[in-house]
């Protein structure tokens, strides 16, 4: 496609760089900005960069999203599309990015949230990936197709921003569970069973929160869960493995960071999700992983046979 507009990518970490890689393949100019100027030597100030672009892509953790958007907002074109790649829940508001970011923007500002299996290391290696782009703005979705569809990248689009955002939150939490399973050295058969349990809980939790189960069962949910829960490139899987290896549970990642906030949204209903509660016991309450996991399996067996 022709390079008709420049893109700003806020957050020059691994995923941000992978997004820039995808855009470069389509001959789209992308300029990076990071809160740490050392990451992007010679970066332009936001006051100079943002007014010159038509699309601002945020590739920062969910806990940094409010500050990142607030910093950009004074310089944003009225019709510039704001895109969130973050997959988490904000602490104070208990909102997903699809809920929180629009509260910071003018009502008419185009907004899009992205989910799906998009492991950054695989993208830059030239492997296939899939992005699920969600927006209520048809022009924003058309741009996503034009900007990202390529030989190794597929795009799915939907207007359901709420479900795509929640799918990303859930898959991160359950990817930690799969990382814990790997850290404990469970068999492939057992990990398959845990994956099935995670899938069921993701659908049930999303339904309880008003999301579309079809989105959860698609690329934005289960597809992303399998990619991250089984990949050596996954941060949330790594968090689970590190917890087992070190016994520490103060490891920051989207899955563990969002878990208490998701449980707060579910309220008493959270107790109906035993695998979620297991991740909370091990990853938040710091219970020893092996006995907690063995207890979980024992209860699951009892329920299956009861």
Q: Which residues are catalytic?
A: 171
User: By the 8 A CB rule, do 130 and 149 touch?
Assistant: no
240 dihedral zone (left: phi>0; alpha: psi -120 to 50; beta): alpha
SS3 track for the chain: CCCCCCEEEECCCHHHHHHHHHHHHCCCCEEEECCCHHHCCCCCCHHHHHHHCCEEEECCCHHHHHHHHHHHHHHCCCCCEEEECCCCECCCCCCEHHHHHHHHCCCCCCEEEEECCCCHHHHHCCCCEEEEEECCCHHHHHHHHHHHCECCEEEEEECCHHHHHHHHHHHHHHHHHHHHHHHHCCCHHHHHHHHHHHHHHHHHHHHHCCCCHHHHCCHHHHHHHHHHHCCCCCHHHHHHHHHHHHCCCCCCCHHHHHHHHHHHHHHHHHHHCHHHHHHHHHHHCCCCHHHHHHHHHHHHHHHHHC
For the record, the structure tokens of 166 come out as: 């929640």
């Amino acid at each position: 496609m022709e390079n008709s507009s420049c893109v700003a990518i806020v957050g020059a970490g691994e995923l941000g760089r992978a997004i820039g890689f995808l855009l470069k393949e389509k001959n789209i100019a992308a300029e990076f900005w990071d809160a740490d100027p050392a990451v992007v030597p010679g970066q332009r100030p936001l006051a100079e960069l943002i007014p010159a672009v038509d699309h601002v892509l945020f590739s920062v953790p969910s806990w940094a999203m409010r500050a990142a958007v607030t910093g950009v907002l004074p310089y944003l074109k009225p019709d510039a599309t704001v895109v969130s790649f973050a997959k988490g829940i904000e602490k104070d508001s208990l909102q997903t990015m699809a809920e929180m970011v629009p509260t910071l923007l003018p009502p008419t500002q185009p907004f899009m949230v992205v989910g799906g299996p998009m492991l950054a290391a695989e993208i830059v290696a030239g492997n296939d990936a899939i992005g699920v782009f969600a927006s209520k703005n048809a022009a924003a979705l058309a741009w996503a197709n034009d900007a990202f569809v390529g030989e190794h990248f597929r795009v799915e689009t939907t207007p359901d921003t709420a479900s795509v955002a929640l799918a990303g939150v859930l898959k991160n939490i359950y990817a930690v569970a799969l990382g814990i399973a790997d850290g404990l050295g469970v068999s492939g058969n057992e990990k398959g069973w845990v994956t099935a349990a995670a899938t069921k809980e993701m659908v049930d939790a999303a339904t309880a929160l008003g999301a579309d189960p079809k989105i959860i069962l698609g690329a934005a949910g289960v597809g992303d869960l399998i990619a991250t829960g089984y990949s050596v490139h996954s941060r949330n899987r790594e968090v689970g493995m590190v917890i087992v290896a070190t016994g520490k549970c103060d490891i920051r990642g989207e899955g563990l960071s969002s878990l208490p906030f998701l449980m707060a949204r579910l309220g008493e209903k959270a107790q109906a999700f035993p695998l979620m509660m297991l991740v909370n016991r091990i990853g938040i309450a710091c219970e020893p992983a092996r006995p907690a996991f063995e207890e979980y399996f024992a209860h699951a067996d009892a329920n299956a046979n009861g």
